Homo-oligomer: A and B are copies of this chain.
Amino acid sequence: MTPAQHNPEERPLGALLAPDIIALLEESPALIAAETEEMHPADLADVAEAMPEAQVPVFLAALPKERAAQVLEYLDEELRAEVLEAMTAQQAAALVTEMNPDERADVLEELDEDVAEEIVEEMPAETRKETQQLRKYDPDSAGGLMTTEFVSVDADTTVEEALRLVRRIARSDKREAMHAIYTTDEDGRLAGVLSLRELLAAPEGATLADVAWTEPQAVSPTADREEVARVISNYDIVVVPVVSESGHVMGVITVDDVIDAIQEEQTEDVQKFGGMQALDEPYMQIGFLSMIKKRGGWLSILLISEMLTTTVMQHFEKQIDLVKALPLFIPLVMSSGGNSGSQATSLITRAMALREVELSDWWRVARRELPSGLTLGVLLGILGMTRIALWQWMFDHKMWLGYDYNPHWQLIALVVGLSLVGIVTFGSLAGSMLPFLLRRVGFDPASASAPLVATLVDFTGLSIYFLVALLLLHGVLL
C-alpha cells in the first residue's frame, strides 16, 4: 500500500474514516480500541472533533487510558477544555495523569482555575507535586515548555549499563522521546550529553564520560520561547535541557514544542504588525466581543493620533484656499510616507526577532536607511512629477483625463516631487528607528505596526508637504 501522501487540499487519512468510527462507537464501543490501534493520535483527535461534543467522553472512555491521553494532547484546545470540565474531577485526573508533564500543565492552564485545582487534587501524590511545580512557570517560558521526563545517567556508568537502562526505560510506560541522554557529575549536575545513536555507536567497555559531549547547550527556566527556539535551531538539536542555576537538569524541551511556540510567536507578530492586539485564538473561533476589543483599541488610538493631521490642515487653511491644486495631492504624498515606513519597520522588526540586528545597531541601520530612503524618494518624486506634467499636457492638448493644475503647474509639480523626497526619506528613517525606540523603552519592538508607522508619518508628511509649498510658492501663488 502506498503511504498517505499529504496534499493540502485533502484531509488526512484518519479523517476519512471518521463516519465509520462514529458509527462503530454507537454500535459496539468495545471494538473501538482494537479498530483504531494503528491510527496516529493526531488523526484520532480529528475524528473526535468531527463527532457531537457529548460523544467525545464516550469515545475517550472506549480507548485505553494512555491512548485517550494522547488523543487529548492533539485535540482542539477549546473542545479539550469543555470535555474535561464536563467530566468528574476523578475521571479528568485519571486521563490527565497519563499525559506528558508539560502537556498536562498546559492543559490545566486552559481550564477554569477552580476546576484545574480540583483535578490536581485528585492526582497521585507524585504527579501532583510535579504538576504544581510546572504550573509555577509562565507557559511561554522554558520552565513552562519543559517536560520533566528525561533520561540522565551518572557519567561513570558504562556504555553497557546505560544501554540496559535505556532499554528498560524504553519498555516502560513513559512516553517522552529520549533523543538525548544526559550525564551528570558526582553532585548530580549536568556534565554532558550524547544521542541515543551515539550511545549505540559507543565502544564496549567505555564509560559515558568517555563518549559524551561536554559543555552541552542548555537554557535557564526563565528563558523565553524565542530564546529556546534560537538555541535549538542554531545548534540543530532536537532537545535542549533546562538547567537550574545550580547546574541541575530540571527538564527538557523537545523540538515539537518549539515549533508550536515559533508558530504562535509568529502569529502574534503578524497580527501586531497588522495593527491590533494578538488574538491568542484561531480567527474562526474567537468571539465577536473579544475580536472587537482586540481590534478596536488600536483603531481608536490610531484615529485619535491621526486627528493631528486635521490640526495641521487647519493650520494651512489659507494656503489650501489660495492654491486649489494643493489638497489634490495630499493622499498621494501622505500614503508614500506610510508605505516606505511600513517597509522599513517590517525589515527591522524581523531582523530584530532573528537577532540579526541588536539595539546597539541603530546607528548602522540609520546609516543604511538614509541613502535608501533618499534614493526611493527621488524615484517616487520623479514619478509624481511625471504624473502632473502628463495630466497638464493632456489638458493643454484637450485630451480626456487632462487637468489644469495652475498656470504655475511646474511649481506645483516641484512641490509634490520635493515633498515626496522628504517624506519617503523621513518615512524610511522613522519606520526603521521606531522598533529601536520601542525596544529601548521596554516595549516589544513587534508592536511597531504598519498602521502605527503610517499614522506617525502622516502627520509629519503633511507638515513637510505644506512647508515645501510655502517655501516654493511664496511670492508666486501664496
The residues of A with any CB-CB pair to B shorter than 8 Å are 1-8, 12-13, 38-40, 42, 166-167, 170-171, 177-179, 189-191, 195-198, 200-201, 213-220, 223, 227, 229-238, 241, 243, 247, 255-256, 258-260, 262-263, 266-267, 269-271, 273-276, 279, 282-284, 288, 291-292, 295-296, 298-300, 302-304, 306-307, 309-310, 313-314, 317, 320-321, 324, 327-332, 334-336, 338-340, 342-351, 354-357, 361, 364-365, 368, 371-372, 375-376, 379-380, 383-384, 387, 403, 424, 449-451, 454-455, 458, 462
Q: Which of B5, B342, B455 contacts A451 (CB 8 A)?
A: B342
Given A6-B231, A274-B342, also A40-B217 (CB < 8 A): yes
The closest CB in chain B to the CB of A214 belongs to B38
Task: For the complex formed, measure the closest distance between the CB of A31 and the CB atoms of chain B, giving whole angstroms.
Answer: 19
Residue on B nearest A450 in the bound complex, by CB? B450
Least CB distance from A392 to B in Å reads: 12
Given contacts A255-B259, A338-B454, contact A383 B300 (CB under 8 A): yes
Q: Is the CB of B313 within 8 A of A200?
A: no
A contact face: mostly helix, strand, loop, or mixed: helix
A298 neighbours in B (Cβ, 8 Å): 339, 343
Please name the 8 residue pairs, one residue from A and one from B, whose CB atoms are nearest each other, closest first: A274-B346, A450-B450, A170-B201, A309-B331, A236-B256, A339-B451, A283-B351, A2-B247
Give the oligomeric copy count.
2
Contacts A283-B348, A349-B270 given: A295-B259 contact, CB under 8 Å? Answer: no
- Name A350's closest neighbour in chain B (CB-CB): B270
**Is B403 a contact of A171 with CB atoms below 8 Å?**
no
Cβ contact within 8 Å between A218 and B4? yes
CB distance from A391 to the nearest CB of B (A): 8
In the complex with contacts A256-B233, A263-B262, A267-B354, A299-B40 CB distance below 8 A = no
Asked if residues B229 and A259 are in contact (CB atoms below 8 Å), the reply is yes
Chain B residues whose CB sits within 8 angstroms of the CB of A372 once the complex forms:
288, 291-292, 295
- Using A328-B314, A380-B300 as known contacts, say yes or no to A357 and B283 having CB atoms under 8 A apart: yes
A204 to chain B, nearest CB (A): 10
Residues from chain B with a CB closer than 8 A to the CB of A219 are 5-6
